Every structure is written in C-alpha cells, then in structure tokens.
Structure 1
Amino acid sequence: MSRSAPSRPFAGRRRAVVAVALALWAVCTATAHAADAQIVSERRVSARVVELQVSTPALAAPTRVTVDLPAGYDAQPDRRWPVTYFLAGTMNNDRAFNDIVGGLKLTEGYPSIVVSPDGDNGSYWSDWYNGGAFGAPKFETYVSDQLIALIDRRFRTIADRSQRVIAGVSMGGYGAVMLAARHPDRYAAVASISGVVDNSLVPTGAVLSISSTFDGGPVDAIYGPRATQEIRWRGHNPTDLAGNLRDLDLQVRTADGLPNPGIGEQLLSADTVSCVVEAGVYAASVSFHRTLVSAGIPHAWKDYGSGCHTPENFQRQIVDVLRQFQTVLAHPRPVPASFSYSSIEPDFDIWGWHVAADRRRAAEFLRLDDAGASGLTLTGSGLTTVTSPPSFAGVPRVDLAGATAGSVVPDPAGRIRFVVDLGPPDAAQQLTPGATTRRVRRAVSLRPQAVVVITRSRPTRGHLRVCAHTVGGTVAARLAVTGARRRVLTRGRVVPLGPEATCRSLRWTRRLRDARGTLRVTGTDGVGHPVAARRTFRVPAALRR
C-alpha cells in the first residue's frame, strides 16, 4: 500500500518426538525474543480494535501496532485463534489496513486475529545496513523475532507456525515475502498484494534506494550502495530467495497499471500517478512469478488485468487473499521432512538447525539442500559449524560422512554439533565487481546408531510375549530367550524392528524350571552398526514345572 522439517524425523514415534522438541525449541526461542520488546501502553479503540504501543531496542522510538480481533473473540474466552500479519506500504502506517482499505469490514467473518505493525515511511521492513554501522531501525528483527512472540504472549493465539500467515501491500508485499523467505519456519503462508517483489529491476531498485530518506536517513541506508553491497540486496530480494518459499502457501497478486473505471478508478485524477506505480509493481510481480515457475515452486498467481495502485484494487485482492488464507489455516500442512534454504547471514537458525559460517569469510550466500535427519548438503566457503535439531535423543552415537569428525555423541537434548570444511573462506564479498569466490559443495550424511528398547517381556504358560521398538533407525533383530546357565528356552527368531512398537509371541521349547529368564536381542541396524539389548524377567511359580 503506497502510503497513499526439519529436520527429517525417522518415522512414527521419532516423528512425534522431533515435532514436540521443535515446538518446545520454537516456544523457548520466541519467549527469549519477546523479552526484547515490551508493550508500554494499550488502548481499546473499538469493540474489535486494540491499539498497542511497543518499546523495543530494534527501533529508535516506541512504535504502534493495531490489532483487529476476530468477531467472537470476547464471547469465546476459551478459544484460541490464528494470527494474520499485515504489512503496510510506503508512507502508510499500522492504521492503513482499517482506514484505507476497510480491513475491519473485510475481516468480519475472517476467523483470525489481524496484526498490523507500523513500518515507518519507507523501511522496507528490513534491518538497515546504515553504512556498515547496522543498528536501528531493525524491522525484520522486530517483526519476526519480537512481535510474533509478544502477540502470542498478550492475546489468545494458536502459537504455532501452521496458524500464522503474513501479507502486505506494495512495500508491505515486499516485506511480507522477504520475511517469509528469510524465516520460512515461522509462517505457513504469505501473500503479495501489488508487492514490489523484485528489487533487481532498475525502477524498483531506485525507489528502494531513496526510501530510506523518507525516514530521515541517507540514500541507500537500507542495504548500502549496489556497487559495493549487491550481496545484501540479493540476500533480501524475494526473487533471489524464491527457493526458500517452497514449503509455504504462496500467493502473488497484481494489476497491470491501466485504470479500471469498473472498480472506481479514473484516468484524469490522482489515480494517474498510482497507475504508474502499479505498472512498476506489475513488472516486479511478473519477474517474481516467472522465477517461481522456472524453479517449480507452487504458488497462486493472479493478474487482475486493469487496475492501479489504489484502495479499490487492493480491496479486491485482499478479499481473495483472506479466502485462501482461511483454507490454509483450516487445513495446515505438516512440517517438511527436509528442506533447502539460502542465507547471506553469518549465522542463522532455520527449522531447528543452527548454522554458523566461518568468521573469516566475507559476506556470501550459504546454501543448505535436503537438510533432514539423514544429512544435508552445504554450499559455501570456510569452516562451517552446524548444530542439528534435537532429533537424536536416546541415540548413543551418530556417525558422520563429509564432516571433519567421523562421529559425534548427541548432547542431552539430542542435538549434534559438527564442522564441515568448505575450503578456504572467501576473502572477497560475493557479487562485488572483480571479486573471485570459490564456493565448495559438500554432502554430509548422518548415520545414528540405533538402540533397541524392550518394553515388554511377559511369560505365559505357552509363550513369552515380547514388545520392542528402536530409537535411531531400523534393526534386523534376532530374539532369543535363555534361563539359568544360559539354557535356551525358545527358538531364535529374526524380527524387523523400527520406531513403532513390534510385539511377538515366542513359544517355549523347554519346560520352565527357573525363577528368572533373559530376553536377548542382537542384530545390526540399517547402516551396519551392531546392536544388542537384554531384559531379565521373572517367571511366576505357577508357570514353573
């Protein structure tokens, strides 16, 4: 609006354990970030509208947030709700959704809290470079790290990625898609409404360069001059980050910049300038759409034909966006079993993984491909340190191929930490004229040693009832039962064991004479590790003969 996975769980029980662990990690991380921002005042504007003042070190001054409550929020005090974040455009603020496009009316039947933060006049919803000094304003940090946690703490939200979506108009469309691409583990869906979603085009890049002046900053304060800081422009550009959006529900909507009298636009009016703006937005949206198609990334694409950068055009798009959001929230996608992701940050967290690049390395893209519990592929330079999600709880050791160490022991939470050598760290910043970079691609496989867990060994008159499962993979297990002096009581039996409980009945081949017996499980897991487990059981006197 112109201010006119995952780790891949092994299966079954492992999947549930990993999902819970990732949820706890997200909650703990969100709680920590929420402590960085505080609500300093709150005002009930109307039955459905709450206005907050938020203080955060990410911004130079307190900032306002408008929260639209869904119909029924007060009448249903035990109900929790999804959250929709709506980002405004250049020269707009948090009230634009309600005051300019009639958002309160548009969301009368929409079952979600709608949160509209203020993005200043031309922040592009980014953490600013500020000539290399960085510091405030840091709108990406504020929205994705702090505001989400703050809203989840203050309101009755469903604090889960599957119930959180984000959209924006114009600069807000850029911001929404940029934030979703850089933090795909925090949003289930994203929509660009006439968004400036490709900063590599000359007109859109020029507008972004001067937008920092709308808030009193110098030209190019947001990402720096393109001549020397192209990597920062690309590292925030939705079109360059398109691959990060594969696991989100994605909408790209735009009009073509020709006036549409059918929705109330007039050529010989103030709408004329807005038509020029929409034509630029259209070019950016088409470029983004073509990149998504080329990469095979599913998305909803809607070219509305005639329409300018006006509230009337935005309103029809918002109606369609909310309809698709409602479907996404009602039918959430599962967490991806594996993922791919690119970032220019020196260290980052994504889907429970933490990645720290070599501190000697200049700014460049670091790419993860097919990251999951069985491994990942890294592309970059320097010694890169990787910490996994808590996927290996109960596993004694994980063998590594492609890392600097051959094996590693998980920490008490089930995480592993390893280093990957991607060659010498690049000294020259990627995409800088004359720079030479030598990025290395290396695959790392993770091979956890499986453990057999025996959960039942109950003797009856005719057999021993046995139940067992594994942690860390599958095992081709041989089951045998012995009594005193290792007297064999059953025939050996080979049973495939996995994360789900497997139960078998082992028939006695000899009379039960001993007060105790031992169940022994031996075998190898799926990657060749030897596995052994045993459990002693008591034989009731009534069964001995």
Structure 2
Amino acid sequence: MKSKFPFLLALAFFCLISLHALASVDTVATFSSAMQKEIKAVVITPKDYSESKDYPVVYLLHGYSGDYKAWLGQVPLLESYADQYGMIIVTPDGNFGSWYWDSPEVENSKYETYVGKELIEFVDKEYSTIQSREGRAITGLSMGGHGALYLAFRHQDTFGTAGSLSGGVDIGPFPENWEMKKYLGTKAQNPERWEEYSVMYQSNRLIPNRLALIISCGTEDFFYDVNVKLHEKLAYNNIPHSFMSGPGGHTWEYWADAVQYQLLFFHQYFEKGK
C-alpha cells in the first residue's frame, strides 16, 4: 500500500502557502519636502487589491522609540485585517520621538506636515484610494495615539474618522518625559505652547459629528487617567465618540487586541459612506 505521507505533506504545504497568500506588504520610501529627507513607510494592500477599485486607507502610527516596522512586526495579523475589511493600512515612520508635531524648536521635525499632507498625497498618487476624508482613518498607540488625534482634530477636512490606543492625550502631566521638551521647549518657559500642542486642548476645535472617534485605553495604563479626562471632556462638550476601557497596561498585548476593534469601527464607518 502506498504511503499517504507525500500527499499529506504536499497538502499541508499548499495550505501553508494559501494561508500566507494574504495581503501584499510594501516598504516604500517617501520624500518629505518639508524636512528635505526620505522617510519610509509600510503599506499593506488587501489580497484582492485592484486598480479598478478605490480603497479606504487607515494610517496607523507607532509610539515613542518605535519606527515604521513596529506595528507589523508586533501585530502580523494586520495583513489579515486588511484582507477582511478590504482596506489599505499604512504605518509611517514618525521618528524616535517627534510626537507628530511640526516642532517649533527642532527645524527639521515637521511630522504633522509629513503625515497629514505629504504622505497622504504620496499614497493617493501611488495606490488606488478613496481620495476624500470619507475614505481616511488615522489611529496609533501611545505617542502615536496622541499624534492620530492631534492630526485628526486639526485636519477634519482630511480625516473622517480617528482613534487612539493608550494615547498620551494630555502631555501636561509629563513635562520631563519622552523628549517632549526637546520639541516644544520646557513647560515652565512655554506653558501656553504645551497647552496648544496637547490633544486635550485641541479638542476645542472639534465640530460635533464631524469626526467618528474611538478611544481605547487599558485601566492599568499610566495614560489611563488622561484618557478618562478626555472622554469626560468630549462627553461634556457633546462630541459623540466611543470610549473603550478594560484590563490592560501599556503593552503590545493590549494594543494587538484593541486595534482589531478600532479597525472594525473604521470599516463600519467606511461602509456607511458607500
């Protein structure tokens, strides 16, 4: 009797190949005119990607000390989420600690301009995208959670929906942390600037129902209190939003779990716009 092992091995290999025949992952080099340098980003396109169709785009920002590879390296399921929801996911480089500001102190740190304008123009040119706010979302973790809301609040004509995962949404309580004073100057010497560059105070720009918002933070996270305060401020100002909290710290375990709910939230927003 012939052994079935070669057949089973071939079948297993085929299944393995099929399992990994998911989204396409590109590492692209973009040029920032504002900073006069090349910046990398990862672009994940769904497996059914076709230039005959326009896709929504989610911009996913990394945290302090991370880079453009961090999200996919820690959450490889992003590829399957891109497939499941038929979306493009872009993870740009925000430098070691830019906080996604156009820094008033560091001349060549213009990451609000880069992510909020230059990168979007590149992605819309090179990929088949929905080129309107109704087809764009932005979120991120920690520093990137701050960056996502900061950019979305300031560019409501660019993004239709936004989120934050364990975001540093109020920088005021942390004047000595994460190199922020390098980019803003010290809080003692620049108190008004520290308010202006904080998500908590940028929230005053929000137009009710203009942005679909989702905010997530673990209850053991050192940013939990400021996220609760932002949630309460938005509720007081009648800004509709989803606020998700539950057990979890400032960890990839929490972000890997929470990001899937945010991507579902964005997907539902995109579907409503069709």
Q: TM-score, normalised by structure 2?
A: 0.86
Question: How far apart are the structure 2 equivalents of 1:300 and 1:244?
Answer: 18
CA contact under 8 A between 1:83 and 1:157: conserved in structure 2? yes
Question: How far apart are the structure 2 equivalents of 1:119 and 1:49?
Answer: 19
CA deviations 1:52-97 (Å, max 9, x no partner) are 1122232353211110002200xx3311111110100011111112
Matching residue of 2:61: 87
- 2:166 is aligned with 1:194: yes
Match of 1:64 among 40, 65, 75: 40
2:170 partner letter: D
Matching residue of 1:286: 228
Q: Secondary structure at the residue paired with 1:191? A: strand
Question: How far apart are the structure 1 equivalents of 2:23 and 2:57?
Answer: 18
Match of 1:229 among 155, 174, 190: 190
- 2:218 is aligned with 1:255: yes
Question: How far apart are the structure 1 equivalents of 2:146 and 2:177?
Answer: 12
Shift of 1:120: 1.2
Q: Would you tell me which structure has more helix in proportion to its own residues? A: 2
CA contact under 8 A between 1:129 and 1:221: conserved in structure 2? no
Question: How far apart are the structure 1 equivalents of 2:57 and 2:80?
Answer: 17
Question: How far apart are the structure 2 equivalents of 1:79 and 1:295?
Answer: 38
CA deviations 1:147-199 (Å, max 9, x no partner) are 11111011111101111110101110000000011111110000001111111
Q: Would you tell me which structure has more strand in proportion to its own residues? A: 1
Bigger mean CA deviation after superposition, 223-232 or 155-164: 223-232
Matches within 5 A, 1:62-461: 62-73=38-49, 76-102=50-76, 103-130=78-105, 135-200=107-172, 202=173, 204-208=174-178, 210-211=179-180, 220-245=181-206, 246=208, 247-257=210-220, 278=221, 280-304=222-246, 306-332=247-273
| Structure 1 runs not aligned, ≥5 long | 1-45, 212-219, 258-277, 334-545
Shift of 1:237: 1.2
Q: Secondary structure at the residue paired with 2:84? A: coil
Larger Rg: 1
CA contact under 8 A between 1:171 and 1:195: conserved in structure 2? yes
The answer to which structure, 1 or 2, has the higher relative contact order (CA under 8 A, 6+ apart) is 2
Q: TM-score, normalised by structure 1?
A: 0.44
CA deviations 1:399-452 (Å, max 9, x no partner) are xxxxxxxxxxxxxxxxxxxxxxxxxxxxxxxxxxxxxxxxxxxxxxxxxxxxxx
Matching residue of 1:23: none
Question: How far apart are the structure 1 equivalents of 2:27 and 2:110?
Answer: 21
Question: How far apart are the structure 1 equivalents of 2:272 and 2:194?
Answer: 35
CA contact under 8 A between 2:51 and 2:127: conserved in structure 1? no
CA contact under 8 A between 1:101 and 1:312: conserved in structure 2? no
Bigger mean CA deviation after superposition, 310-319 or 226-235: 226-235
1:255 partner letter: G
Question: How far apart are the structure 2 equivalents of 1:329 and 1:296?
Answer: 23
| Structure 2 runs not aligned, ≥5 long | 1-21
CA contact under 8 A between 1:81 and 1:112: conserved in structure 2? yes
CA contact under 8 A between 1:55 and 1:61: conserved in structure 2? yes
CA contact under 8 A between 1:193 and 1:253: conserved in structure 2? yes
Question: How far apart are the structure 2 equivalents of 1:99 and 1:106?
Answer: 15
Shift of 1:221: 2.5
Bigger mean CA deviation after superposition, 229-238 or 111-120: 229-238
Question: How far apart are the structure 2 equivalents of 1:282 and 1:224?
Answer: 25
Question: How far apart are the structure 2 equivalents of 1:138 and 1:303?
Answer: 32
CA contact under 8 A between 1:195 and 1:281: conserved in structure 2? yes
Question: How far apart are the structure 1 equivalents of 2:47 and 2:261?
Answer: 19
Question: How far apart are the structure 1 equivalents of 2:127 and 2:273?
Answer: 21
Q: Secondary structure at the residue paired with 1:221? A: helix
CA contact under 8 A between 1:164 and 1:188: conserved in structure 2? yes
Shift of 1:222: 1.3
